Amino acid sequence: GAGVSQSPSNKVTEKGKDVELRCDPISGHTALYWYRQSLGQGLEFLIYFQGNSAPDKSGLPSDRFSAERTGGSVSTLTIQRTQQEDSAVYLCASSSQGLNTEAFFGQGTRLTVV
């Protein structure tokens, strides 16, 4: 695959359940980002992984949110005890090392909490 791949594309879950969202970045990209896209809220930064450095978790909205990146490649965003306000499109992006490099985005996972 040439691009960033996210799964699932859509997820409907009941309030209180845990969900896992997956991101497969472009091979060789050292930087990986998670964002949340809500109507009227724009792109909200969640977490940023860069190489072997400690991730920047400053955007995670609560301790119900966590993310990991295994082997410097695939990343999983986990939301525990989902709430209705967690409903949004979750976007993953990756980029090669360097400040001015282009970030490539996945198609997103649309999460609906009912």
Partner 1 sequence: AQRVTQPEKLLSVFKGAPVELKCNYSYSGSPELFWYVQYSRQRLQLLLRHISRESIKGFTADLNKGETSFHLKKPFAQEEDSAMYYCALSGYNQGGKLIFGQGTELSVKP
Contacts to partner 1 by CB under 8 A: 3, 31, 33, 35, 40-43, 45, 48, 50, 53, 56, 91, 93, 98-100, 102-108
Q: How far is the CB of 60 from partner 1 (least distance, A)?
A: 13
Closest CB to partner 1 among 47 and 111?
A: 47
Amino acid present at 71: G
Q: Which residues contact 46 (CB under 8 A, 6 or more apart)?
A: 33, 34, 35, 36, 59, 60, 61, 65, 67, 77, 90
Closest CB to partner 1 among 35 and 65?
A: 35
Phi-psi bin for 79: left (phi > 0), alpha (psi -120 to 50), beta? beta
CA angle in degrees (0–180, nearest 5) for 98-50-42? 85
Closest CB to partner 1 among 63 and 99?
A: 99
Closest CB to partner 1 among 9 and 18?
A: 9
Return d(Cα 22, Cα 41) in angstroms, integer.
22
Q: How far is the CB of 12 from partner 1 (least distance, A)?
A: 20
